[in-house]
Structure 1
Amino acid sequence: MSPLLLSAIVSMILALTCYTIGVFAERKKGLLLPWHAVIFWLGFLFDSTGTSMMSRISGGHFAFNLHGVTGLIALLLMAFHAVWATVILVKKDHRSQEQFHKFSIVVWAIWLVPFVIGMFIGMS
């Protein structure tokens, strides 16, 4: 296994770990807190890094297939999710802080689709 592939895999697992911790901690608390947003940003950073490395491994071009399209959607949703969490916290919108977990779980579930597809592609 190449060092680049190993680094990409570790980055994606760190993204999964951060995102899962952030989403479920927020859900359990029932309130979006600043540290949740930090974890969402870290998840996005690790996902972007892993995606970039995987892209280099595959030749550096976007693949118009199920994994490529769902991965792009998931990455854009993660970015939007982290930005929106930050905006809610900066505005101190308590109602939105209490409701944000509903959006978080949807984004997390959508993000899992390309993650799982990528695992199956990598195993084949």
Structure 2
Amino acid sequence: MLNFAIIFITSALVCYTIGVWSEKIAGILKTWHLVFFWIGFAFDTLGTTLMGKISGGFKFNVHGVTGLIAILLMLFHAVWATIVLLKKDQKSMKNFHKFSLLVWFIWLIPYFTGMVLNMI
């Protein structure tokens, strides 16, 4: 089960990174970026669920708290991106990368603390 959890979490990192950085480079939010946000969120949810089963549930520590914040932000980010694209709000589509980068950086905190805490 651990191998699948690692694969899902790493797939989340890859997909979310592709979505966020390609949006930043393009300078405007596009539908295919949104697809990568949702795929990244799905992989993160699967990986987090498996990791939770392995560890016995939520832990109130840096990794657990930042992980919860990150997954909620990823969900909010994907929902908000969906709304922005449906409204076709050009100004929001051009500025959306600012929020995307913030969420991505926050998401990296539990990703790396999870690795470090489990190496110790």
Q: TM-score range by the shorter chain?
A: over 0.9
Kindly state the Cα deviation for residue 35 of structure 1 after the two structures are TM-superposed.
Answer: 0.5
Give 1:32's match in structure 2, choosing from 29, 32, 38.
29
Deviations, residues 47-95 of structure 1 (Å, cap 9, x unaligned): 0000000000011x21111100000000000000000000000111111
Between Structure 1 and Structure 2, how many residues are aligned?
A: 120
- Which residue in 2 is equivalent to 1:96? 92
Are 1:13 and 2:18 counterparts?
Answer: no
What is the TM-score of this pair, normalised by structure 2?
A: 0.98
Number of the residue aligned with 2:53? 56
Shift, 1:123, TM fit: 1.6
What amino acid maps onto 2:84 in structure 1?
A: I
Which runs of 4 or more aligned residues in structure 1 lie more than 3 Å from their structure 2 counterparts after TM superposition? none
Matched residue SS, 2:13 = helix
Once the two structures are superposed, the pairs formed by residues 45-124 of structure 1 within 5 Å of their partners are 45-59=42-56, 61-124=57-120
Distance, in Å, in 1 between the alignment partners of 2:9 and 2:117 is 14
RMSD (Å), alpha carbons: 0.6
Identity rate, percent: 57
| Distance in 2, Cα, partners of 1:11 & 1:76 | 17
TM-score (norm. length: structure 1): 0.95
Which secondary structure does the structure 1 equivalent of 2:60 belong to?
coil
Distance in structure 2 (CA, Å) of the matches to 1:13 and 1:51: 11
| Amino acid paired to 2:7 | V
